[in-house]
Structure 1
Amino acid sequence: MDRKTNDLLNSIPEHADYAADAGDLDPEDIPQERMDAVMDLLRHADNDVVRFLAAKLLTSWGVHEGLIALEKNMERPEIIEGIYSHRLHGYDDTYRQILMAVTMYFANMADRGGREVARTQVYSPLSKIIALAGSKPFEIADAFAFVKRERYLEYVPPIKQHLVSIIDHPEIHRWKIYDAIELLMGFDPEFVMSLLKEKNKTIDDFRPTVQG
C-alpha cells in the first residue's frame, strides 16, 4: 500500500485526539475531498484488501455504499480473513472490526435522523456476524451492547442460536458464553434457564473469574 493510500485510510488530523482510528472521526473532520478519494478507492482500486479497507472506513463514516460493499466482502472470506489478528490471542479478528464499523454506521445515521432506515440496513450484516461468531472465536460484545441499548428484538433469535452454538465450547469462546447469557436474561430468561438446565449448568459456571 502506497503512502497516499495509507494516509487516506488511516490518518487522523492532529486536532482530532478523540479518535482512536480514522473510522472514529466526526463528520466535520472528514473533508469532502478525502471522502471522495476513499470512495474512489472503493470503486476503482486494483487491490482487494484496499477496497475492503475503503468499504470499512466509509461504513464507519455512515456511507451506505460502503456498507453494501462491506457486506459483499463478507462473502469472500478468502480475501478478508487474516487482515486483522487479535493482539493477545492471535485469532482472526476481522469480523469484529467489521462489526465495529457497522455499529458506527448506525450511530452516524441515527445522528442524521436516519435511525429507522439504518435499523433495517444493518440487520443483515450484523446477523451474519453473530452467526459467524458461533463457530469462530472473535468477540461480539459490540453487537450485544448495540442490542441492549436499542432493544431491537429482531436480534434475539440469532443471539439465541449463537448461545446454543457456543455453550458447549468454553475452551474456544470463553466469556462470550456469559456475555450472551447475560444479554438474553434481559429478553428471554426462560430460554436461558431452560438451556442451562438441559446442559446441567448454572450461570455461575460461565461467569468470568477476576485474575488476582
Structure 2
Amino acid sequence: MNRDDRKPRKPHAISRRSFIKGAGAVAAAAGLVRVRTASADEKTLPPGVVEKLGPEATTIELNINGKPATLEIEPRVTLLRALREHLGLTGTKLVCDRGACGACTVHLDGKPATSCMVLAIDARGHQVTTIEGLGTPSNMHPVQAAFVETDAQQCGFCTPGMVMSVAAALEKNPSATTEEIKHATAGNTCRCGTYPHVFAAALKAAQPGRVTKDV
C-alpha cells in the first residue's frame, strides 16, 4: 500500500497538554470556592449557596480562649499562623508545620487538634483553646502545675502541645491510666526524651478533683 493511500488519523478531540491545563484550571478554581455549614452564631447562607473565598484577605471572627477575635487574613492561613502571627499567642509552637510533632496542639471544642493542619477559616464557629487559655502563671491548670512539679520539660518546644494533649485526655477521663496517657500523647514528639516525666505529671494531675474544664 502506498504511504499516500493510508487513511489520515483523526486528530484527538483533546490533547494531553490541553487536558492537563484544563484540569489545573479547574483545581485552581475549586480552591477558591468552599461550601460549608455555618454555625448558629454566624450569618448563615441560604441552602445551596456557595461561599467564595480568596485569594485576597477576608475578615473572619474566631472564638479564642472564650473571647471573640476578628482577623483580616487570606483563606490559606492556618490556625497555627493566625494564632502566632496575627494574635500574638506564641505559646502554640511552630515546629514541623505538617501535623507530625504535636507541638502546635490546641483544643477545638475541647478536643485536641494540630493547629498547623487546620485552616483558620475552618475554625469559625468552634471554641478554640490555646495553652494561654488553659491557665496562667498565677493560676495554672492542674496539668501545667504537675508538669512544673515533676520537671516534665526541658527545651520547652513540645511542652505546650504535650500539656494540651494531656489536659484533653484527663478531661475525658480524670482517672486515666499510664497506657491511656501514652495513647493520648502518641502524636506528641519530645526530642529531649522526657516522656517518663510527662507520664508522671499526667498521673499526678489525674488525682480526683484536680482537672477543670476548658475556659
* TM-score computed with the length of structure 2 as normaliser: 0.27
Higher RCO by CA contacts (8 Å cutoff, separation 6 or greater): 2
> Which of structures 1 and 2 has the bigger CA Rg?
2
More helix by share: 1
* TM-score computed with the length of structure 1 as normaliser: 0.28
